[in-house]
Amino acid sequence: MFENFKPLPVDSILSLVKAFREDPRDGKIDLGVGVYKNADGLTPVMRAVKAAEKKLWEQEDSKSYVALAGDPAFSDAMIGLVLGESVARGSIAAAATPGGTGAIRQAFELVKLANANARVFVSNPTWPNHTSILDYLGMEYVAYRYFDAETRGVDFDGMMADLKDVKAGDIVLLHGCCHNPTGANLNLTQWQAVVDLLNETGAIPMIDIAYQGFGDGLEEDAAAARLVASSVPECLIAASCSKNFGIYRERTGILMAVSADASQQVLNQQTLAFLNRQNFSFPPDHGARLVTMVLSDAELCADWKAELEEVRLGMLGLREQLAGELQRLSGSDRFGFLAQHRGMFSRLGTTPDMVEKLKTEHGIYMVGDSRMNIAGLNAQSVPILAKAIIDVGV
Ligand code: PLP
């Protein structure tokens, strides 16, 4: 049977990682893969996570199964982190998943189970895994305009015009904050307009929130998810702990289903557990337990928040430095969008040729669509990148 497999396209980001590793040049800069890196190029274990791990090692006396939807304490802690008090707890069903990707996969399967005809509206561009999972599941999706190639901000008029085509029961996938790959985000007035459109049409929002705390702050980054969840009858939220807790390899995420009332919540909770059972049975526990410990211990939580804030401000500082450097070199404000974008990524908005030139002539690696990982920079490499961007004629 194995002879039936066809070669799969190589993952463009992973092949970029390989090319970077094999590049012998000193001073090469990796802005490719979507992992946070500090000024030394390292992805550290966060202090509070390390402390929780130590405590867990001392206290944990069993590795037996927990529950199909994971530990309810994890769900409570994550619902608190993402939704705060915006929605009554009794209307939220939640299940732990292997990472944010697992939550997205389970969300799509849930949609398919509920309504085989639902179409999923995705931003153009979006995180490529969204569409590849939809393809794999054989689900129909429709792209809506999102990125304005001129301003490098959101093409809000285009987005709203395209979303006018949604029908009741369709799903609108929205990035809760720190849009990947563009870095361009809606403001709260625009979010309100999206909410109004969802309510007029009966389409159901699905929020992917993978970078809470990387944009404008933990609370600020959750504001859109809270607004949506508290304003529509039903929504799905897929949250990842990979980035903001720095626990990428632990595979920690959660899917939340918000419904209009508590009786529906019971059925939703059963369905989430059922879907976990079919796909992987019990979700990974280690990362979820660490997150629960960090969020429920005042001292650990304060330390985590402080470190996350250092990470956020560090990336913001790099953005401002890069925008400033480019303003100086170009004598124009046309790169100001880099300081407006939020999160780990910015789409430079240039051609694949220019991206190739940055790689071959300057040893600067970014994804072909010109997505840069801002965390791949440091104070010393920002001027080098700025000069290269001007040199190749972006
Ligand atoms: N959603 C978006 C937009 C992402 O960028 C990512 C990670 O890159 C994820 C979800 C899920 O990440 P993970 O599965 O590692 O938690």
Contact 236, 118 (CB under 8 A): no
Domain ranges of the chain: 12-45+301-391, 65-296
Single out the catalytic residue among 210, 238, 239, 257.
Answer: 210
Residue 262's pLDDT is what? 87
Is the CB of residue 246 below 6 angstroms from any atom belonging to ligand 1? no
Q: Which residue reads 């029908």 in tokens?
A: 167
Sign of CA dihedral 89, 95, 98, 104: negative
Q: Which residue reads 């789409």 in tokens?
A: 347
pLDDT at 51 over 90: yes
Helix/strand/coil (H/E/C) assignment for every residue in 118-152: CCEEEEECCCHHHHHHHHHCCCCEEEEECECCCCC
Instruction: Give the separation between CA 361 and CA 385, rounded to whole angstroms.
Output: 12
List the residue whose alpha carbon is closest to atom 12 of ligand 1.
100
Residue 144: both structure tokens together:
């809506």
210 belongs to the catalytic site: yes
Residue 298's pLDDT is what? 98
Mean pLDDT over 191-198 rounds to 98
- Class of the CATH domain delimited by 12-45+301-391: alpha beta
Is the CB of residue 99 below 6 angstroms from any atom belonging to ligand 1? yes
Compute and round to an integer the Cα radius of gyration of the chain.
Answer: 21
List the residue whose alpha carbon is closest to atom 5 of ligand 1.
180
Per DSSP (E only), the strands in 4-160 are: 29-30, 92-97, 120-124, 141-145
Residue 261: pLDDT band by 50, 70, 90 thresholds? confident
Q: pTM for the whole thing? A: 0.97
pLDDT at 363 over 90: yes
Residue 65's pLDDT is what? 98
Residue 83's pLDDT is what? 98
Half-sphere CA count of 52, side-chain side, radius 13 A:
26
Residue 33's pLDDT is what? 86
Contact 144, 122 (CB under 8 A): yes
Mean pLDDT over 220-244 rounds to 98
Residue 12's pLDDT is what? 82
φ/ψ of residue 52, rounded to 5: -65, -40
Atom of ligand 1 nearest to the CA of 100: 16
Residue 9's pLDDT is what? 84
CATH number of 65-296: 3.40.640.10
Is the CB of residue 325 below 6 angstroms from any atom belonging to ligand 1? no
Q: Which residue reads 């599941």 in tokens?
A: 137
Task: Read off the pLDDT of residues 321-361 as tens digits, 9 standing for 90 and up.
Answer: 999 999 999 999 999 999 999 999 999 999 999 999 999 99
Residue 205's pLDDT is what? 98
Residue 148: both structure tokens together:
């304005």
Residue 351's pLDDT is what? 94
Single out the catalytic residue among 221, 229, 243, 357.
Answer: 243
Q: Compute, in angstroms, the gap from residue 74 CA to the centroid of ligand 1.
A: 19
Is the CB of residue 100 below 6 angstroms from any atom belonging to ligand 1? yes
Residue 13's pLDDT is what? 85
Residue 101's pLDDT is what? 98
Residue 14's pLDDT is what? 84
Question: Chain-centre distance of CA 349, in angstroms?
Answer: 20
Q: Compute, in angstroms, the gap from residue 239 CA to the centroid of ligand 1.
A: 8
127 belongs to the catalytic site: yes
Is the CB of residue 287 below 6 angstroms from any atom belonging to ligand 1? no
What is the chain's mean pLDDT, rounded? 97
pLDDT at 10 over 90: no
Q: Compute, in angstroms, the gap from residue 240 CA to the centroid of ligand 1.
A: 6
